[in-house]
Structure 1
Amino acid sequence: MTVRPTHTLFPHSAVPALPSEGLIGVIAPAGPAGLDTDKAVAWMRARGYALRIFPGVYEQDGYLAGSDDVRLNDLHAAFADTEVDAIICLRGGYGTPRLLDRIDFELLQNNAKPFIGYSDITALHVAISRYAGFVTFHGPLLNADLLGEKQKPTESSFFNMLRGQVKAGSVLSHPVAWPLTTIEPGIAHGRLLGGNLSMIAATMGTPFEMEAEGVILFIEDINEPLYRIDRLLTHLRLAGTLGKLRGVLVGDVAGVDTFALERLLKQTLEPLRIPVLAGWRSGHCDPNLTLPMGALVRLDAGKKELVLEQDVVVKR
């Protein structure tokens, strides 16, 4: 592991845009999932892209997609492969934290490219932000989201972001069918970072915990009852993480009553006197919108807007 922490307030590097007729690598750094290869190849070909599927996608070691060595080798190989234009994860589940202390972050930094996933993949978003300093994408998984035929905003948000159609100054699109809720009004500028709340809390106290200073925290989760969401937020409060934030964007918290969640958010976050916006359709939900992790953004909770303040991809 090459340990070169990057300060959260410094601009994170944009990555090369996904070109037309590009090659997308598929890896499984967490749990296993049966992949219908023909369906995956046909789905991407219909949109102008080819797939390179790395070996661990077809392996299983209990609840892991192959051994730690296999999954780590695929991660390194996908970044090192100069023909691969972007990397998408097969699924979440569990397994990425086991890799963190063995990752060659210098290799990743020297071969930066769009990296996409969510859920357990949060551990990689946070670690790459801290030790490699380039923008990654909290976005759809290949199996559950793209091949799972989630609603069109999932696909359009994904491709628009990676192709560079969403530029600095853009208000990130959010479907009107899913209204947003202002928990605390206000405007904040900072770096968008986070992902799965359970994973963020699980890395606290390790060299791979999220650097929270100046961050607009994005959180989402699934299959956690309200009291456990309370416990996780309390953990971040007691660790001093919440006190460093500039704002909070709450994504989908699947399985939790919306009114009860908003009450908990109000109780926990109101004393921070920072803007908080809830209901963003990212996470274990349909649609699942792509968000740029590590990118500078402006959160206007009163106007219910998230504005990109830097280009996150650059065309070659």
Structure 2
Amino acid sequence: MTVRPTHTLCPNAPVPALPMEGLIGVIAPAGPAALDTHKAVQWMRDRGYSLKVFPGVYEKEGYLAGSDEVRLNDLHAAFADTEVDAIICLRGGYGTPRLLDRIDFDLLRNNAKPFIGYSDITALHLAISRHAGFVTFHGPLLNADLLGKRQQPTESSFLNMLRGHLKTGSVLAHPEAFPLTTIEPGIAHGRLLGGNLSMIAATMGTPYEIDAEGVILFIEDINEPLYRIDRLLTHLRLAGTLRKLRGVLVGDVAGVDVPSLERLLKQTFEPLRIPVLSGWRSGHCDPNLTLPMGALVRLNAGRQELLLEQDVVIRR
């Protein structure tokens, strides 16, 4: 059984918990989508929250939700707004990387709060972890997931994480209806970081690439055939990223034959002698579980268990 060392770990800082009757801001830093504002407001109200929609959510510029300036301004405004308690992204798509070199990371750091999204939003998770140093959440998008009525525990995972119901020592629940697969057994301690595999690879060689030292890598993807998943993982291997890892958690890789994917994972990670657990229901899937990016966790691949080793939010 592999037990990776715990020294030299520097987890990202927790953020303030989402308070009851809090205000959740929605922004669209990537692609456009039509928002049913009444439906969104009612969804939040039914759960005890208010919703603030930032202007760029209603804009569209080709495959982008408004111009770079509009999307960047909304990102900054949502963090700077002291009344906004958490920020959720409207959708993924494409566009987030275009903002990275213009983000005021000092502003984000000084106004840290829960930030939620996945897919293209991975670029922001990686950049915030590296340059602002607080925990963010790989979790549901407003349109596709919360308003799209993803099955439980999508909603409960999201709310329990942000409300602070999960503390240091909590084991993250995974639905029994979706069996996990141990690719490589063992135990590892590290910062959980990653997201969309295509986006992780796309940021390599930039100041916003994943800081992989001491990391338990989380990966997911969609619409990528197996040979392209192979190419993306090979890119990370050749870049020296994989040898820095302490473990791997594989989420949903939509559209890929599962046995074939597991063979590829075995081929890729067996030489590294690190624990690898596959099948976690996070990403472009239903249900879509929330994961804390940058947080210290323990992965026990043999027992198929992921445990928090730090509080990810702090109640005020």
Q: TM-score range by the shorter chain?
A: over 0.9
1:193 aligns with 2:181: no
Letter of the 1:166 counterpart: L
State the partner residue of 2:124.
124
Length-normalised TM-score, structure 1: 0.97
Distance 1:59 1:250 in 2: 34
Letter of the 1:127 counterpart: A
Give the CA deviation at 1:312: 0.3
Give the CA deviation at 1:152: 1.7
State the partner residue of 1:26.
26
1:83 aligns with 2:87: no
- Which ranges in structure 2 are unaligned for 5 or more consecutive residues? 1-7
What does 1:237-256 correspond to in 2, within 5 Å?
Answer: 237-256=237-256
Distance 2:268 2:314 in 1: 38
Q: Which secondary structure state, in structure 2, belongs to the residue aligned with residue 161 of structure 1?
A: helix
Deviations for 1:14-68, whole angstroms, at most 9, x for unmatched residues?
0000000000000000000000000000011000000000000000000000000
State the partner residue of 2:175.
175
Letter of the 1:129 counterpart: S
Length-normalised TM-score, structure 2: 0.97
Distance 2:172 2:38 in 1: 33
Identity of aligned residues (%): 86
1:271 aligns with 2:289: no
What does 1:102-121 correspond to in 2, within 5 Å?
Answer: 102-121=102-121
Distance 1:273 1:257 in 2: 24
What does 1:28-47 correspond to in 2, within 5 Å?
Answer: 28-47=28-47
1:55 aligns with 2:42: no
Q: Which secondary structure state, in structure 1, belongs to the residue aligned with residue 24 of structure 2?
A: strand
State the partner residue of 2:3.
none
Distance 1:152 1:244 in 2: 34
Distance 2:123 2:48 in 1: 30
- Which ranges in structure 1 are unaligned for 5 or more consecutive residues? 1-7
Give the CA deviation at 1:10: 1.4
Give the CA deviation at 1:166: 0.7
State the partner residue of 1:148.
148
Q: Which secondary structure state, in structure 1, belongs to the residue aligned with residue 153 of structure 2?
A: helix
What does 1:89-108 correspond to in 2, within 5 Å?
Answer: 89-108=89-108
State the partner residue of 1:294.
294
What does 1:199-218 correspond to in 2, within 5 Å?
Answer: 199-218=199-218
Report runs of 4+ in structure 1 exceeding 2 Å deviation.
none
Give the CA deviation at 1:293: 0.1
Q: Which secondary structure state, in structure 2, belongs to the residue aligned with residue 265 of structure 1?
A: helix
Q: Which secondary structure state, in structure 1, belongs to the residue aligned with residue 200 of structure 2?
A: helix
Distance 2:281 2:212 in 1: 23
